[in-house]
Chains A and B, each alone.
Chain A
Amino acid sequence: MEHGFLDRHSDLDSPVHRLDPRCKVLLALALVGAAVSTPPQHLLAFAVYAGLLAWTLALARLPAGYVLGRAALVLPFSMLVALGLPFFRGGQTVAVAGLQLSVAGLWILAGAAMKSFIGALAAVLLVSTTPFASLLAGLRGLGLPALFIDLLALTYRYVFVLVGEAMRLKRAAAARGYRPRWLPQAVIVGRMAGSLFVRSYERAERMYGAMRLRGYLGRMPAARPLRFRLADGLTLAVLLPVLAAVRILAR
């Protein structure tokens, strides 16, 4: 897994990229919070949420296919969880292609699809317009514990390394003819994971040595201070009331 794979496009330049990460995190949380709590019947409210996200996408000058495709990955899973609903909910039913489907169940299904897609879209837009390091600085600025932020930063750095090692182990096993077919063969995966853990542990020992040499005593030095500018204040001042109003009107 190459570096820069996860927050691809976050180093571009656009009005959205330039916003303070704290501002973007707050807006994303507000939008997702409003969307998940809106009853699914209020399609107009969901149109507003989707419109705001589409506007952000256009302003951020991100490739639309990439962003929408990433966000759409959530849909098959949410559909599988919710697909049974139209059959199990009671109440008023509607006939679709010879099937009696529950109206309430269909609404829950539609709501789950819209909400999970909007949530995923908001997350993809957030990480595609904010380099992960800035995102962490923003989360720290919003009050998350320093240790948790340090751990997230280091984990993010080493996820690439360890995923790469895991993929090499997998390739090596496949090259030796490992084609697992039944459950007990999971033991092989366990041995692979065991060797992966020992490598990750020894890497942590080397990392600690290197960090110690550079003066590490249990806390990472602070990153560049964030600057909350007028544009950030204005964006929040306009969009938060809009979201609140939509959420209140869509009861």
Chain B
Amino acid sequence: MHIPDGFVSGPINAGAAALSAGALGLGLWRANRQLREQPQLVPLLATTAAFVFAAQMLNFPIGGGTSGHFLGAVTAAALLGPWNACIIMAIVLVIQGLLFADGGVSALGSNVLNMGVIGGLAGYAVMRGVRSLLPAGRGGYLAAAAVASWFSVVLASSACALELALSGTSPLMVAFPAMAGTHAIIGIGEALIATAVLAAVAAARPDIIPEWARLDGKADQTGKVRKSVWALAGAGVIVAGGLALLGSPFASGSPDGLEKVAADQGFEEAASEDKVLWTKSLFPDYKVKVIGSERVSTGVAGLIGTVAVFGAGFAAIRFLTGGAARPKG
């Protein structure tokens, strides 16, 4: 999802940079105010940024021998607040862009917009929205973080596709299903990891998550849970239906053709050579996901992703709410 130099046109880049700089400036202003009360915020933000950077190097399998990696925007937002998460993602992206040439220097505005502003701020907004639909307990908190994590990855990758399309670099019908489809699957991993991180933090250091103590672990009433689960499922179906309607005309068109051509002409071999080059790179596991994931059949991936995320969502909700909810047709 890290856009290199030369992929986003001037006006798009300028707009994205302005939005990112505005959000980052506001975030830094708020952090500066918060600092007067708690100067320990500076080392905390720095180690959390280093944590996000390091956690992005822990790959997880997404099937077919390919792997994805963690983004961490919603996790950071849940732990330290959305504005601080935006700052953290910007720091991570600046270090990746400058020191790893991962994400172009001139595309930094777009990358911060996608992963910091959309991933962190919008992801946190989704989390707040989903929490209002779910019971107020700890299960609801974790389930909301999971849903928001999925959305943060899918929204960030869709924004990336949109920027590439508006710049004339890659047609929307190719970029959108490729990015959103594969990230619909990667997003499931993101959701699993975010939930596991928050649960692990709550178990080891419950004082870190500000609202954890106030969340009640047991008092979820079954009726309330059932109602909330249905509300969430309804909202999810509407969103997914919308996405499918919007996405399917793009998904059904040319990507299959591209893959056929790629297979016929031996580009797939070229791609695997790329993969060899990457595994020899400075960080063996840092980037393989991009190569692998781009090759996943895009339209199908989107469909599987949508279905799978509902299955996973229901499973997660039932698991997290202790089986209290029994959505039965």
Contacts and interface: CB of A to CB of B under 8 A. Distances in A.
Contacts of A29: 105-106
Contacts of A156: 95
A36 interface: yes
A224 interface: no
Interface string A111-122: 110111011101
A158 B47 contact: yes
User: Which one of A155, A170, A184, A205 has the greatest number of beta carbons of chain B within 10 Å?
Assistant: A155
Interface of B: 2, 4-7, 10, 13, 24-25, 28, 31-32, 35-36, 39-40, 42-51, 53-55, 57-63, 70, 75, 79, 87, 90-92, 94-95, 97-102, 104-106, 164, 168-171, 173-175, 185, 188-189, 192-201, 204-205, 208, 254, 257-258, 261-262, 265, 267, 271, 274-275, 277-278, 281-282, 287, 290-291, 294
Interface in A176-198: 180-187, 189-198
A78 B63 contact: no
A197 B197 CA distance: 8
A57 interface: no
A194 B265 contact: no
Contacts of A181: 61, 63
Nearest to A180: B61
B105 A84 contact: no
B39 A218 contact: yes
A152 interface: yes
A162 B54 contact: yes
A33 B46 CA distance: 29
B200 A198 contact: yes
Contacts of A180: 60-61
B222 to A, nearest CB: 26
A216 interface: yes
A208 to B, nearest CB: 4
A160 B58 CA distance: 15
A76 B104 CA distance: 14
A12 interface: no
Contacts of A165: 54
Interface stretch (A142-150, A228-236, A237-245): A142-150
A7 B55 contact: no
Contact of A112 (B60, B61, B169, B171): B169
Interface of A: 6-7, 28-29, 32-33, 35-37, 70-71, 73-74, 76-85, 87-88, 97, 99, 108, 111-112, 114-116, 118-120, 122-124, 126-127, 132, 135, 145, 147-148, 150-152, 154-159, 161-163, 165-167, 169-170, 180-187, 189-198, 200-205, 207-208, 211-212, 216-218
Nearest to A159: B50
Given A74-B4, A114-B6, A197-B197, A203 B47 contact: yes
Contacts of A184: 192
A78 B257 contact: no
B56 to A, nearest CB: 9
A19 B301 CA distance: 50
A196 B55 contact: yes
B274 A79 contact: yes
A154 B258 CA distance: 45
A246 to B, nearest CB: 16
A180 B60 CA distance: 7
Given A78-B4, A80-B291, A147-B35, A192 B101 contact: no
Nearest to A112: B6
Contact of A120 (B5, B25, B198, B274): B5
A197 B43 CA distance: 13
Contacts of B104: 32, 36, 74, 116, 119-120, 123
A159 to B, nearest CB: 5
A33 B98 CA distance: 15
Given A189-B70, A192-B58, A123 B94 contact: no
A218 B42 contact: yes
Given A116-B7, A183-B189, A193-B197, A83 B101 contact: no
A181 B65 CA distance: 7
A77 B105 contact: no
User: Which one of A196, A211, A217 has the greatest number of beta carbons of chain B within 10 Å?
Assistant: A196
B290 A116 contact: no
Contact of A148 (B7, B87, B200, B201): B87
A176 to B, nearest CB: 15
B278 A197 contact: no
